[in-house]
Structures are given as structure tokens and as C-alpha cells.
Amino acid sequence: MSISVRRGRRRTAAVAMAALLLAGGAVGCGSEKSDEAGDDMSPVAAVKKAAKKTEDLTSFTFRMRGSVPEDGRVRADATMSTKPLAMQMKMSAPDQGPEKIEIRYVDGAAYIGAGEMAAKEMDGKSWLKFDAKAMEKQAGKGAGSSVSAQADNNPADQSSLMTGSKDLKKVGSETVEGVETTRYTGTVSLDRLRKLTEDKGGDAATKKRREKSIKQYEDMGLKKLTMDMWVDGEDHTKQFRARGKGDKGALNMTITFLDYNKPVHVEAPPKDKVMDLGQEMKGLEG
């Protein structure tokens, strides 16, 4: 496989993992405190309650539509399990090229499938394998690091983000995918989120994950986020939207949840169809 093809596939993988990061990081939005008043919950209390339910999810099916800084438009449909971590996503990044790719994460490895067109340039192999730890040792930041970041990303890890907003409010009732929901919205700066995390970060592991989530937004060149959350009648997050503008471009991503807590079964691609990118990089070093 030529160096240019390798670079192209790694670029595609990076776009995919940036999108996946948002899926994993933006589901739960809660707070350490609530200001619940009787049966009529405040926006903070309602969002916190939805976040608590998110923490109990073991799997979900979701759809992503929008754009991310530098990489442009992203469309994805996925099913993901958190215990154990497994994921299957089909996506496209039209501004990066016409290819439609599939991502699978299973048994600690990520596989990027780009179809038969890629196979013509990869000795008949239509899948690239990323071993997160090996990639980080050999390449530092990049596609491998993105895989690793997602593997360590639980849907409830950013549970404090939305209620870091000083202007969190209830917008009203809206129908999403045929389901009646209540929409909440708010804005918050990443500086404020970082300060809240440092002041009230909880245990060390939770604090570390939250700091990582904030840094990933900062790496996109963002300083401020506008968030919208749609909560259904069972207090589940039905839809979430994150928007922001920075020196690297605009973020505008909507994640819609279609199902919860259903069995997820993901299989690794056939070995004879897989090219191990870690081994390829060792060859380049040689």
C-alpha cells in the first residue's frame, strides 16, 4: 500500500473517531447539584435526572448528523455497548471524499473498513486494524490516539457539561422521531467547565476523564459550547446537540438515540481481509 493511501486512510479514520468521540462524550449532561422544586423540576434537575439514567445504560443505538472542525460534514449510524466496550458504526464524511466506511471496535482493537475500492490498493484487504496502545507508542498523537480516547470514553463521563451553563433553560415541548420530548438549552465556556471540574471533579478517575473530554473540545479550537438536550417522558436523553465556533472551524453535531439496552454483538472482520496498520508502520520505520 502506498504512503499516500496510508495517509488517506488514517485521515478517514481520524474523521471517524472525531465523530465517535462526540457520540461517546455528549450523551449525559448532569450536575453535582440540583435545584428541584416539588414535582415541577427545574431545568438543572431535569437534565441531571436524564444524566443519571444515562449512567445506567449498557448499550444504545444512535444516529449522528452534522459537522466537525476541519473535517466538515459527518453522517453516521451506530450501535454501541459499554460493558463490555463494543461498537459498530457506518459513516461517511462527504467533505473528505465519497467513500463510505464502517468502523468496528471489539476486543480492544478498532477496524476501519473502506470497501472494495480500498482493497484494490491494499493487496485485497478491505479493513485496517488499529491497536490503540501499539499505535500510540509508534505514532504518538493521531488515529491511534483517537481510538484510545474513544475506548476510554463512557457516555456519562461529561455529565457535568450542560449544567455548567449559567443560562440553562427549558425551551418547550418538541417531537423527536415520533416521541414527545422536552427541550433544554444552555451555553458554557470551556474555561468555566475546566474550573468546575477542578473545583468539583469528584474522584480522581472521574476528574481525569472529564478533563480529557474538555481537552478534546479544546483541540477542536473551541472556547464556548451551545448545547441542546431533548428529554423524553421516561427521562431518557432522546437527542443531544452541541455547537461551537473556533479558529479551526465550526462544530454542529446532533446525536439522536433510537434504542437502549438491547444486546449488541460485534465481530472482528475476517483475518484475511485485515491489514494491521501497526505492522505497516513498523515496516515504514524500517
CB 285 within 8 A of CB 142: no
pLDDT digit string (tens) for 65-82?
Answer: 999 888 889 898 989 887
Q: Domain extents for the chain?
A: 3-285
Average of per-residue pLDDT values in the chain: 74
How many angstroms separate the CA atoms of 134 and 219, rounded?
22
Angle at alpha carbon of residue 209, lines to 197 and 142, rounded to 5°: 125
| pLDDT at residue number 118 | 65
Does pLDDT of 184 surpass 60?
Answer: yes
pLDDT in tens, 198-233: 776 566 766 776 777 788 788 888 999 998 989 999
Residue 58 pLDDT greater than 80, yes or no: yes
Contacts of 268 (CB under 8 A, 6+ apart): 104, 106, 107, 109, 111, 274
Over pLDDT 90: what percentage of the chain? 14
User: Spelled out in words, what is the top-level CATH class assigned to the domain 3-285?
Assistant: mainly beta
Residue in 94, 89, 107, 122 with CA at minimum distance from that of residue 17: 89
| pLDDT beyond 50 at 242 | yes
- Number of Cβ atoms within 10 Å of the Cβ of 244: 22
User: Are the C-beta atoms of 132 and 147 separated by less than 8 Å?
Assistant: yes
Residue 94 has pLDDT above 50, yes or no: yes
User: For the segment 95-119, what is each residue's pLDDT rounded down to a tens digit?
Assistant: 877 778 888 988 888 888 866 666 6
Supply the pLDDT for residue 177.
95
